[in-house]
Amino acid sequence: MLTYIVRRILSTIPVMAIVAFVVFALLYVVPGDPAAIIAGDQATPEDIIRIRASLGLDRPFLVRFGEWVWQLLHGDLGTSIFTNLPVTDLIHQRVEPTLSLMAITLVLSVVVAVPLGVVAAWKAGTFIDRAVMAFAVLGFSVPVFVVGYGLAYVFALRWEWLPVQGYVPLADGVWRWFRHLILPSLALGCVYIALIARITRAAMLEVLAQDYIRTARAKGLGQRPILFVHALKNAAVPIVTTIGIGIALLIGGAVVTESVFAIPGLGRLTVDAILRRDYPLIQGIVLMFSFVYVLVNLLIDVTYTLLDPRIRY
């Protein structure tokens, strides 16, 4: 097991290298010039050329990429073009809201979606099953920002139960922190809940048709032990896989959700950086998200051995 984990960690190095190169290359072929944005509408071509030279954008691509990689090897993500602050500091200032939003959404989605999928499989073909699947289809169909605006209108503007936007740090109180994240987590979790519920239902239907489930019923075991002890445990591998893959949905959805609810997290920071063509900041954020995603996949692979003893590395 330890050898496998070390091998997987080492395998992330070429993956992150490819991601770094692709991100660096794409940002320099998309339209837009940060020097022109900094210079403003009234700038002359000479002003833009001077700003490009001061930012180092006039140097060859491979030279800039080599310098950036050398900085990464020393733990330096670079300096923001617009704020002139280290990218590491900017990410550190915004990471708490995003991690809080993703953590609450993840817990909420798993707690809601897994029981929904189990019940849908148990009541397959009934009204309950069709209702759960209708919700899953709806959750996939409606964009996150539409759900977010709808929740904000009903629960914040119309009923005034919850705040409509903003973020309160955890240090200022657990309830105030959680209260500001309820609506964003619900909006972001709709797609995630729909995905996990559908996969849970499909996996449970396959397991419930196995012979050992019929044997358990013949022995007189209750429905709850059969569903949540025997069946769910054996259906856990595809469910856990879906939860890990769904982290990418949370990362992408956080950008939209934070914009809708004015949460000062990494999503808002990413949008601002893209609009300003702040290349070092975009590259730093994308690299961080990529590393988190690779790390989550590693944890999922290790979890397989705990859920299914037949899996050994």
**Alpha carbons 47 and 43: distance in angstroms, whole number:** 6
pLDDT given at position 1: 65
Tell me the torsion sign for CA atoms 191, 192, 196, 197: negative
* Residue corresponding to tokens 């990429």: 65
67 vs 72: CA distance, rounded Å:
9
Give the whole-angstrom CA distance, residue 83 versus residue 88.
12
Query: What is the Cα–Cα distance from 250 to 106, expressed in whole angstroms?
Result: 8
* pLDDT for 127 beyond 70: yes
Q: Distance between CA atoms of 227 and 162, rounded to whole angstroms?
A: 36
Q: Identify which of 43, 19, 32 has the alpha carbon closest to the alpha carbon of residue 81.
A: 32
The secondary element (H helix, E strand) that includes residue 152 is none
48: three-class secondary structure by DSSP = helix
86: three-class secondary structure by DSSP: strand
Q: Model confidence over 241-276: pLDDT tens digits?
A: 888 888 877 888 888 888 889 899 888 888 888 887
Q: What is the pTM of this model?
A: 0.82
User: pLDDT tens digits for 288-297?
Assistant: 888 888 888 8
Most confidently predicted of 9-18, 21-30, 99-108, 218-227: 99-108
Q: State the pLDDT confidence band at 283, using cuts at 50, 70 and 90.
A: confident
- Residue 150 CB partners (closer than 8 Å, separation 6+): none
Class assignment of domain 87-307?
mainly alpha
Cα 300 off chain centre by = 15
